[in-house]
């Protein structure tokens, strides 16, 4: 679920507690979390709705129902109301800066991927994937697993090793 950067501070402060999306099927679920580089959100409820009240539009950061509807109209799927709240900073940020790699073990493919990123910082995911004969989307999913362990960082284009990733390679 993409959230406009302009909404982030208002979500963080609690001013914005709802988001509305048109989806064929939801991309988040109640009880889950959404972890992004700007922080972690708790997803408290996800409901299909047929109409939106003015109070809901305001809770979503819009001044009117019409303004909210214009942001979601023209897209396919049902209208979903997502109740969310900010729960904290992205824990991967602190983990990336750590040099503690005790007990961390990567399987062969993950280690090869880490070495590939180390040797090619800032290279597009599509190019990295092609260089080893992989499809881009599964490749990116595997990079996200490394990122969750605090080993890599996303750049505007491509990736690089985090200090923790560098420490891991040095420890081998």
Q: Per residue in 108-136, is it b (16+ CB within 10 Å) or e — as a string?
A: eebeebbebbbeeeebebeebbeeeebee
What's 31's DSSP letter? T
Q: How many domains are there within the chain?
A: 2
- Tens of pLDDT along the chain (172 residues) come to 788 888 899 999 999 999 999 999 999 999 999 988 788 999 999 999 999 999 999 999 999 999 999 999 888 899 999 999 999 988 877 888 888 888 888 988 999 999 999 999 999 999 999 999 999 999 999 999 999 899 999 899 999 999 999 999 999 8
What CATH number does the domain containing 103 carry? 1.10.10.10
Name the residue range of residue 82's domain: 5-89
How many angstroms separate the CA atoms of 39 and 129, rounded? 28
pTM tops 0.85, yes or no = no
Query: Of 89, 122, 157, at which residue does a domain stop?
Result: 89
Could you give the CA distance from residue 141 to residue 107 in angstroms, rounded to a whole number? Answer: 15
Residues 76 and 11 in one domain: yes
- Give me the pLDDT at residue 104, please: 85
Please give the Cα distance from 112 to 117 (Å, whole number): 9
Q: Per DSSP, which regions of 7-145 are E strands?
A: 18-23, 33-36, 39-48, 78-88
What pLDDT score does 98 carry? 82
Q: Which residues contact 110 (CB under 8 A, 6 or more apart)?
A: 142, 145, 146
145 and 162 co-located in one domain: yes
């Amino acid at each position: 679920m993409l959230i406009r950067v302009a909404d982030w501070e208002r979500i963080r402060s609690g001013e914005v507690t709802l988001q509305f999306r048109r989806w064929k099927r939801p991309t988040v679920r109640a009880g889950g979390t959404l972890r992004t580089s700007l922080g972690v959100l708790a997803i408290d409820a996800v409901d299909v709705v047929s109409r939106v009240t003015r109070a809901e539009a305001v809770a979503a950061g819009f001044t009117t129902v019409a303004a909210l509807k214009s942001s979601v109209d023209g897209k396919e799927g049902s209208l979903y109301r997502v109740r969310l709240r900010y729960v904290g900073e992205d824990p991967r940020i602190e983990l990336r800066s750590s040099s503690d790699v005790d007990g961390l073990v990567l399987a062969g493919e993950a280690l090869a991927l880490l070495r590939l990123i180390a040797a090619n910082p800032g290279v597009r995911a599509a190019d990295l994937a092609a260089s080893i004969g992989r499809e881009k989307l599964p490749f990116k999913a595997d990079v996200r697993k490394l990122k969750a362990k605090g080993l890599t960082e996303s750049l505007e284009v491509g990736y690089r090793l985090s200090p923790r990733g560098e420490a891991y390679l040095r420890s081998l």
